[in-house]
Structure 1
Amino acid sequence: MLDGKCRMVNAYIRAVQRSQERVDALPFHEWKFPDGGLWMQFFRKPLGYLLRFPSVADFEISADGKEVVGFPAPDADDDAAEHLYLNQVLPLALSRQGHLVFHASAVDIGGDAVAFLGESGRGKSTLAGSFSRNGFRVLTDDGLVLVPCEHGYRVMPSEPSIRLWPDSERALVGENLALAVRMQLSSKARFRAGDGFVFCDRPRPLRRIYFLGDRESGGIAFERLTAAEALVQLVKNSFLLDVEEANTLALHFDQVSGLSREVVCYRLAYLRQYGELSHVRTAIIEHAGVRMDVECELQCNRAA
């Protein structure tokens, strides 16, 4: 749901701590870390869904996605449970309500939103963090919510924090590592607004979507995708609470099909070295054709 200020709202109750008891049914879906470790399990309940993050928290979601109750596990980090709700559970609940939500980061460049999609480890957060460390505001680190509007789509701002893997943390933050909040379920560190990163708190019109890829040698390559190619990538990177319900899948496919036809999407490939990020930022700004004000342009020139 959206409130009058275009912020995402949901009925969320943080209940008392609860042990994670055995669930009789098998999960109908699982998310795993790149190394194969278990991240989250999806279970069906009589009145909705149970999402389990092992040893951290359980979240019960109503069938319509409008109510969420969180149960932190005993001895779990309170901050971790809250973070999981905002960055993982809420996007899934919103998808159940019919919103378009993607595994993507997005930044505000000159008043327009530019989004970066890709599998875990492709550098979505690193690229967004690099923009943010150089004066550009992050709209979301993950859980990109798109809302149709008269002239396309708007990107909704999410919780003002960003998560970085240790190598990206060292490259972008360096000596200020003490600012990081260590996460219980991941080796990523979490940085909030004011920790050297800046965030946007207003919706922005979506200008471009870039799907991140690797490049073995130097240079930066942009390849425009057909609507069919973009559709495949958008589906792969979608948040969906119930991946087996036919009506939900049909609606989502129609929504994503419309998005792929209306928004120009590109594959972006570059050498995955931190020293290249300033060149990548400049190339993205030029390629997206974003009009920047004088202050923003000066920031970009200093960063390059």
Structure 2
Amino acid sequence: MHTSFAYGLLIQSELPLAQPVLDAGTPDIVVRFGSLGQAVTEPERGNRISIDLPLGVKLLIRDGCEVTIDAPAETDRAVLRAYVLGAAMAFVLRQRGALVLHASCVARGDEAAIAFLGGSGWGKSTLASAFHRQGYRLITDDVMAIGLDASSPQVIPSFPEVKLLPDAMAAIGSGSDELQLHSLSHKQIQRLESRFDRGPVPLKHLFVLQAGEVNRIHPLPRAKAFPELIQHSRATKILTDPTFRLQHFHQCSCLAKAVPMAYLQRPRSLEQLPQLIDFIESYLTNLTNL
């Protein structure tokens, strides 16, 4: 078994996942290969989620602590890794009570974090990597888990990697290590071993990414922030349990009340990333000084 650490959880897995750590005791999550048979046809419940994925891959996530992988023997292990750290982990975190958003997140020094929400290809990872090159800490990429039990919303760090297309990788600069995400994707993994902490970080601001001709930020009132959080939530579409949905709506409402949100419009230009970072930093400084 391989042992790794992500989202504040110790993971033991038959499939290598995040960077290995020394065995630190009883695992929070166990990932195994197994035959699911008819399990995927059973009714979905909040504590038992089955997923059908491309290439004949099936995942079963139970009680926020167990993931079973049923896949053809020839399946690329890098594809399975991406499925487990993406789709499966989003459901694991959801079952453990976290609000899980489609977002990437960074923080500067000891300051609270800022996060960028958006769908695949919207530039979340590119922005996170660009901020990291400017001295920010990476908190998470793509799957952002938020705990709402503390006095303020806390982002739970994932693991020190971002996924970038080759042109973004070339524009931003390579990390300490990079490799192809998997055989079905053009993206590459950039590993960022420096400036990554495991402790939760308070969330300062949320930006919803939008395309635009110039850099512009439009603050969102709570009435519009709530549906944006619903839209950019992960691990929700196949969960129909009323208790889960009520909890999810409550979490999004609490986050919309606690953390400022804004639309961030910007040109889709890699060359303008430094100006965009300056623009965002200036906006946040002005908010602090108000």
Q: Please confirm whether the aligned pair reaches a TM-score higher than 0.5, indicating the same fold.
A: yes
Do the aligned partners of 1:207 and 1:288 also contact (CA within 8 Å) in 2?
no
- 2:198 aligns with one of 189, 196, 201: 201
Do residues 225 (structure 1) and 224 (structure 2) align?
A: no
Mapping 1:1-304, distance limit 5 Å: 7-9=8-10, 10-15=28-33, 44=43, 48-55=48-55, 57-62=57-62, 64-111=63-110, 112-173=112-173, 179-194=178-193, 198-216=195-213, 218=214, 220-241=215-236, 242-289=238-285
The residue that corresponds to 1:302 in the other structure is none
TM-score (norm 2): 0.79
Structure 1 position 162, deviation (Å): 0.8
CA gap 1:24/1:221 in 2 versus in 1, 3 angstroms: closer
Count of residues in correspondence between the two structures = 262
Give unmatched runs, 5+ long, in structure 1.
26-42, 292-304
Partner of 2:55, secondary structure, is coil
Q: Distance in 2 between matches of 1:141 and 1:103?
A: 9
Give unmatched runs, 5+ long, in structure 2.
1-5, 11-27
Partner of 1:73, secondary structure, is coil
Percent of pairs with identical residues: 27
Partner of 1:238, secondary structure, is coil
TM-score (norm 1): 0.76
Name the amino acid aligned to 2:31. I
Name the amino acid aligned to 1:7. G
Partner of 1:186, secondary structure, is coil
Partner of 2:64, secondary structure, is coil
Do the aligned partners of 1:117 and 1:237 also contact (CA within 8 Å) in 2?
yes
Q: Distance in 1 between matches of 2:176 and 2:29?
A: 34
Structure 1 position 190, deviation (Å): 1.5
Deviations 1:106-125 (A, max 9, x none): 00123221100012211101
Partner of 2:274, secondary structure, is helix
Structure 1 position 147, deviation (Å): 1.1
Q: Distance in 2 between matches of 1:193 and 1:153?
A: 25
